[in-house]
């Protein structure tokens, strides 16, 4: 799919923060924080309940990264953002977080 005018790339997940790396800065001075989110839920698939459990790579950038520095493993959060390849030629995906909130 190459038509970017009609393409949509938006994702939202909730779960438990499993791991959080130290805040770092790119050579351009942009704050970046990498983390992992553990997600578990039950969904309906073809009319049948299905248990879903997985871990997802997260990347916080800019002001969102400096806010995320206060997060700790075990925190329940909801994140939203877009999916992108981990690196230019990688098939592995990372959720680039544009918004997040703690769940109480």
- The tokens 């916080």 sit on which residue? 60
Query: pTM for the whole thing?
Result: 0.88
Could you tell me the CATH superfamily of domain 11-102? Nucleic acid-binding proteins (2.40.50.140)
- What pLDDT shows up at residue 3? 59
User: For residue 31, is pLDDT > 80?
Assistant: yes
| Domain boundary assignment for the chain | 11-102
- What pLDDT shows up at residue 81? 98
- The tokens 């805040």 sit on which residue? 23
Which residues sit opposite 49 in a β-bridge?
A: 44
Q: Distance (Å, rounded) from C-alpha 51 to C-alpha 94?
A: 22
The 10s digit of each residue's pLDDT in 54-99 is 999 999 999 999 999 999 999 999 999 999 998 888 888 999 999 9
């Amino acid at each position: 799919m190459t038509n970017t005018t009609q393409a949509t790339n938006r994702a939202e997940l909730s779960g438990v923060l499993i791991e959080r790396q130290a805040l770092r800065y790119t050579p351009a001075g942009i704050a970046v924080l990498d983390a992992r989110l553990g997600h578990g839920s039950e969904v309906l698939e073809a009319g049948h309940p299905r248990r879903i459990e997985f871990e997802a790579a997260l990347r916080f950038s800019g002001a969102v990264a400096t806010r995320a520095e206060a997060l700790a493993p075990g925190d329940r959060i909801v994140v939203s953002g877009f999916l992108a390849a981990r690196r230019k030629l990688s098939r592995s995906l990372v959720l680039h977080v544009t918004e997040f909130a703690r769940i109480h």
